[in-house]
Amino acid sequence: MPTASTDLRLSRRAVCAGLAALPALRPALAATPPPLLTAREARVQLAPPAYGATPVWSYDGTLPGPMLRARQGSRLERRLVNDLPVPTSVHWHGIRIDNAMDGVAGLTQDPVAPGGQFDYAFDLPDAGTYWYHAHTNSMEQVARGLAGALIVDEPTPPDVDADHMLLLDDWLLNPDNGHFVDGFDHPMTRSHAGRMGNLMGVNGRHDFALQARQNDRLRLRLINGANARIFVLTLEGLTGWRVALDGMPLETPEMVDGQLILAPAQRIDLIVDVTAEAGTTAGLLSGTEADGWRLLAEVAVTGRAARTPREAPVPLPPNPRMVVPGAADAPLLEMPLQGGAMRGMTSGRYQGQEMGFRALMQRGQYWALAGQVGLGPEPFARLSRGETARIAMTNDTIFPHAMHLHGMHFRQTGPDGRHGPLRDTALLMPDDRVEIAFVADNPGKWLLHCHMLGHAASGMTHWIEVA
Ligand code: C2O
Ligand code: CU
């Protein structure tokens, strides 16, 4: 009985507190809820129809998810509703965002349980091409389809005839039924190059095509949404310029001459003129010199625009805060990339404990960043707000890695000591040493991890703290 009366008292107090809070709550209840973004199961025809539809995990029933688009300087709000059978969260890749909105389960928020919801609301300080994707067990969730584009428009967009978003991906499908091949966490892919698909596509289609006229000027926003594939691309019947990388405008547009390399999570904005004749096919080819090239995105040239080819495009307007001052004097923090098949490390720190490679392998861990295996209690670095930081990453493995910093863009330092363009994801080929510099101007806990998502889940995830 004492228990019951205590309960009664508690509940009565709760009721009173509830009543007291009611007037304050009323305006909030009356406000319109943010638009929904629903994570749910769906079926999508990824492979040719003979193979059947693929059961996917989607945002709003489509793969990729809906293209979110807003003006620079505006605020984006979405209520994530989780109708999946697993917990999830959304990361807004490349946005200089409030830490609490970064979507990293286990670091910036709790995962959203099945049936639960979470309100994301944040400012969009930079124009450009960004994307959003699951950041809870992303190795599996992104491979199953939880990704979409986030486009932030310049106040005055460049003068083009059309603006197209192309989210490049690959899917590992079972040829018997078109379903995803299971084993998203297969040890072989985690310890090697990652999960590679057997079907490549754009915007959820293996036969993606768009139409344009000869002489049209197009803006193409390329996003690599694949788990592990590095896309090597060439242009056919299109001539043009790179105008932005990872969302951030280049100070001078660069003529595309040869291959475009797009590591997982990276973006390239192109402005291209259609030079192919009317009635022919132009487009984006994917492949290598050794394996040959195949059409990844077709541009069907349906006619001829009256306009003759124009001058080189003017640079996109710069986003705020573009410089990294005083980098030469900032201490250089060393981050070796270690492990993986054929170069297994001998030991690493896992969950606060030093462990041998065999013990790590048994826990599905194969990689380390500066000796740290996976997200640990201690950050790689504690930086004071506004401080310029330098990190030298050295790839001591035999696999490429795409290292992504959350919350802030960095500049890669060239061999001559000069700073390259702003990026949020850097590709490191084996034996590469890449030095990045950035201003730690965004307070919070920020991941620095490999965007080969099987690697990230198998040790290549670390974090920095800005306070
Ligand atoms: Cu695009 Cu930590 O992710
Ligand atoms: Cu990696």
Q: What is the pLDDT of residues 299-314, one digit of tens each?
A: 999 999 987 668 899 9
What is the ipTM, given to two decimal places?
0.98
Q: Could you tell me which residues come within 8 angstroms of residue 451 by beta carbon, excluding any fewer than 6 positions away?
A: 263, 264, 265, 402, 403, 404, 425
Q: Tell me if 270 sits within 8 A of 243, measured CB to CB.
A: yes
Residue closest by Cα to atom 3 of ligand 1 = 93
Q: Tell me if 263 sits within 8 A of 224, measured CB to CB.
A: yes
* Count of other CB atoms within 10 angstroms of residue 236: 16
Q: Tell me if 40 sits within 8 A of 61, measured CB to CB.
A: yes
Nearest 5 degrees, angle CA 54-CA 64-CA 222?
130
Distance 159 CA to ligand 1 centre (A): 31
Architecture in CATH for domain 36-153: Sandwich (2.60)
* CB of 404 sitting under 6 A from ligand 1: yes
Assigned fold of 327-466: Immunoglobulin-like (2.60.40)
φ, ψ for residue 286, nearest 5 deg = -125, 140
- Ligand 1 atom having least distance to the Cα of 94: 1
Residues near ion ligand 2 (Cβ under 5 Å) = 401, 450, 452, 455, 460
Distance 257 CA to ligand 2 centre (A): 28
Question: Dihedral sign, CA of 379, 382, 387, 388?
Answer: negative
User: Nearest bound ligand to CA 130?
Assistant: 1
CA distance 75 to 300: 36
* CB of 449 sitting under 6 A from ligand 1: yes
Q: Beta partners for 119?
A: 79
Q: State if pTM tops 0.90.
A: yes
Residue with tokens 């920095």: 464
Which tokens belong to 406?
């959350």
Q: Could you tell me which residues come within 8 angstroms of residue 464 by beta carbon, excluding any fewer than 6 positions away?
A: 379, 380, 381, 382, 383, 389, 405, 440, 445, 446, 448
* CB of 405 sitting under 6 A from ligand 1: no
Q: Tell me if 370 sits within 8 A of 335, measured CB to CB.
A: yes
Q: How many CA atoms are closer than 13 Å to the CA of 10, on its beta-carbon side?
A: 6
Residue among 70, 64, 138 nearest 103 (CA): 138
CA distance 117 to 82: 6
CA distance 248 to 128: 6
Ordered strands of the 117-123 beta sheet: 54-59, 36-44, 75-82, 117-123
- Ligand 1 atom having least distance to the Cα of 456: 2
Distance 95 CA to ligand 2 centre (A): 22
DSSP classification of residue 311: P
Q: Beta partners for 446?
A: 464
- Ligand 1 atom having least distance to the Cα of 449: 2
**What is the predicted pLDDT for the residue at 309?**
62
In the chain, domain spans = 36-153, 162-304, 327-466
CA distance 104 to 101: 8
**What is the predicted pLDDT for the residue at 329?**
86
* Count of other CB atoms within 10 angstroms of residue 237: 18
**What is the predicted pLDDT for the residue at 29?**
56
Q: How far is CA 255 from the centre of its chain?
A: 25
Which tokens belong to 21?
């809070």
Q: Could you tell me which residues come within 8 angstroms of residue 129 by beta carbon, excluding any fewer than 6 positions away?
A: 149, 151, 165, 221, 222, 223, 244, 247, 267, 269
CA distance 343 to 288: 26
- Ligand 1 atom having least distance to the Cα of 406: 2
Residue among 176, 170, 159, 93 nearest 128 (CA): 93
**What is the predicted pLDDT for the residue at 288?**
81
* CB of 133 sitting under 6 A from ligand 1: yes
Architecture in CATH for domain 162-304: Sandwich (2.60)
* CB of 448 sitting under 6 A from ligand 1: no
**What is the predicted pLDDT for the residue at 61?**
98
**Over the range 433-454, which residues count as b (16 or more CB within 10 Å of their CB) and which as e?**
ebbbbbbbebbbbbbbbbbbbb
* CB of 411 sitting under 6 A from ligand 1: no
Residue among 92, 110, 108 nearest 100 (CA): 108
Distance 135 CA to ligand 1 centre (A): 7
Distance 298 CA to ligand 2 centre (A): 30
- Ligand 1 atom having least distance to the Cα of 104: 2
* CB of 93 sitting under 6 A from ligand 1: yes
**What is the predicted pLDDT for the residue at 384?**
97
> Residue 98 corresponds to which amino acid?
D
Distance 303 CA to ligand 1 centre (A): 40
User: Nearest bound ligand to CA 95?
Assistant: 1
Written as tens digits, the pLDDT of the chain (467 aa) is 333 333 333 343 443 344 444 444 445 555 788 999 999 999 999 999 999 999 999 999 999 999 999 999 999 999 999 999 999 999 999 999 999 999 999 999 999 999 999 999 999 999 999 999 999 999 999 999 999 999 999 999 999 999 999 999 999 999 999 999 999 999 999 999 999 999 999 999 999 999 999 999 999 999 999 999 999 999 999 999 999 999 999 999 999 999 999 999 999 999 999 999 999 999 999 998 788 999 999 999 999 998 766 889 999 999 987 788 888 889 999 999 999 998 888 999 999 999 999 999 999 999 999 999 999 999 999 999 999 999 999 999 999 999 999 999 999 998 888 899 999 999 999 999 999 999 999 999 999 999 999 999 999 999 999 99
Residue closest by Cα to atom 1 of ligand 1 = 93
CA distance 29 to 459: 43
* CB of 455 sitting under 6 A from ligand 1: no
Q: Beta partners for 77?
A: 121
**What is the predicted pLDDT for the residue at 60?**
98
* CB of 462 sitting under 6 A from ligand 1: no
Sequence length of the chain is 467
